[in-house]
Structures are given as structure tokens and as C-alpha cells.
Amino acid sequence: MEGKFALADDFVLLEDNNSDAAGLTYSELEQDFPELAAVFEASPLDIMLIRSDDIELIEEMFSRLNEAVPLNAAEKRNGKGGYLRPVVRHLVGTDFFERKLPFRNNRYRHYDLATKFLYWIDRDDAADVKKQNLDDFWDAVKADPGGEEWARSLYDEALEVVTALTPTFEDGDKLLASVGMVSVYFLLGMKRFESGDNFPHRNELESFERARNIKRFNDESELTAGQRRLLEFDRRAQSPNDEAALRYRVSVLEDFLRDPSVFA
């Protein structure tokens, strides 16, 4: 490096606590400490070239490298490639993800959510979306000879549901702030789309949110059966990937939309 880089002034060789090489350049090491220079020579440095027009992606990458943050499940799946990867990216490029969700795709949160949508479409209903299930699903589509067609079919159906949901919500909608509620809305949207019914208006969903704001310091014995169901709805938000919790939450929302007075 033309003598421009030298060992730090406080350099100490761990083997013998010798600091004589401190501040020396590589050429100086070759002359005075050839064995130490050979150690550096035998230690290859990996060089990686990354090209991207996405400045935020690059900044996030360096931030995570500096913090030694490990990859999460969505990032690992994306790194596997396969037929679902382009499909997930196309789905995340729709207005629902781009405009309506109030949270960004940091650490591939949108990709993870889109993968769940595709998995539920594949199962035709609510299902566990724990890491192993989604990993197995991803690998199965990737390994299937008809995987490309399979992925495209799932995308087409998911897109229909997402397109039906989109007009209900505002840009950066606070109703979509929770990933758990986004999941509930999508599963409800699947049911409504299959039955030919329209997705609820936003004011109906706002009414549901207001009904959920039960004062939790009240004695539960004073609550109606409907209000206790709303409390249970909130408790099950702690298990956003669990099939039973998802089914329960969707059923409560369906019943509320059918007759809000039951929850008064």
C-alpha cells in the first residue's frame, strides 16, 4: 500500500506482548520482522462488490455490519432465491404495501408479511406462520418442477385480495400499524373475496377499534360477554403467528361487523 498504512502506535503482539512492531509499515515489517510480515501475507482479506441504486439498503447494510446484527428469517429466505422471491417483491410493490402500511420495509418486514399472505392463500385459510412453516413452504415451491406456475398462481390470488383491501385504508393508515391486525384484515379479506362480499368500510373498522378500548382496570366480571371477547381478542395479539389465535381474532371481527351491539 505504498507505505501509507502502518500498525497502530499501541500495537502489541499477543504471543509475547512485544510492541516493537508498533507504528511500522509492511515494508518495514519485511525488513525488521519478516516472520510477522509473513503472518499478514498469509491472511487473505475477503473483498465483496455490492452494486445497488437503493441508498437506504446500502446504509442499512453498513449499519448492521458495524453492529454485527444477524440476519432474520425473512432475510435468510430472500437469500435462498427461488420462485417465491420475485413474487414476494412484486406483491410488496403494490399500493397496499407502498402507501397504506405505516411502517417501512426495514429488515424485510414487508417481505415477511407478503410471504405470510402467500402461505395463507396456499392453505386457503388461516394457518400457523411460524418460521419453520414459512421456510418449508419457501423450499417446497423452490424445489417443485411446477414451482414457477405455483408461485404465480398464489401471487394472482393474493393480489386480488390486496387490491380489494387497498381502497379501505388511508395512506400510512394507523389501523395498519400492527402486523397482527394487518394479518387479521387480510384473512378477513380472503373470506370476503371468496364469498363475493365487499371488504368493510373504514368507519366500521374504526368502530371496532373504539370498542376494543375497554378500560382494563375494570373488574372483568362487570363486562358483558362481548366485551370479554374483545379483551381476549387483544390478549391473543401476543401470538400473531398462531393459527388458533388468528382464527379467533378473525371470528371476533366478523361477529362485530355483523352486529356491533353484541359487543356493547
pLDDT at 196: 92
CB of 237 closer than 8 Å to CB of 178: yes
Establish if 78 belongs to a structural domain: no
Establish if 10 belongs to a structural domain: no
Establish if 53 belongs to a structural domain: no
pLDDT at 215: 56
What's the structural domain count of the chain?
A: 1
pLDDT at 51: 81
Establish if 253 belongs to a structural domain: yes
Establish if 264 belongs to a structural domain: yes
> Which residues 6+ apart lie within 8 Å of 213 measured at CB?
none
Q: Dig out the grid coordinates for 121 from the structure.
A: 392463500
Across the chain, which has 264 residues, the per-10-residue mean pLDDT values are 75 80 84 84 80 73 72 86 94 98 93 98 97 96 97 98 97 97 98 94 96 69 87 94 97 96 88
pTM of the entire structure?
A: 0.76
Range of the domain at 243: 200-264
Establish if 72 belongs to a structural domain: no
pLDDT at 6: 83
CA-wise closest residue to 126 among 236, 3, 6, 260: 236
Establish if 230 belongs to a structural domain: yes
pLDDT at 114: 98
Establish if 251 belongs to a structural domain: yes
Strand-pair partners of 25:
6
DSSP string, 60-124: HHHHHHHHTPPP-HHHHHHHH-STHHHHHHHHHTSHIIIII-SS--GGGHHHHHHHHHHHHHHHT
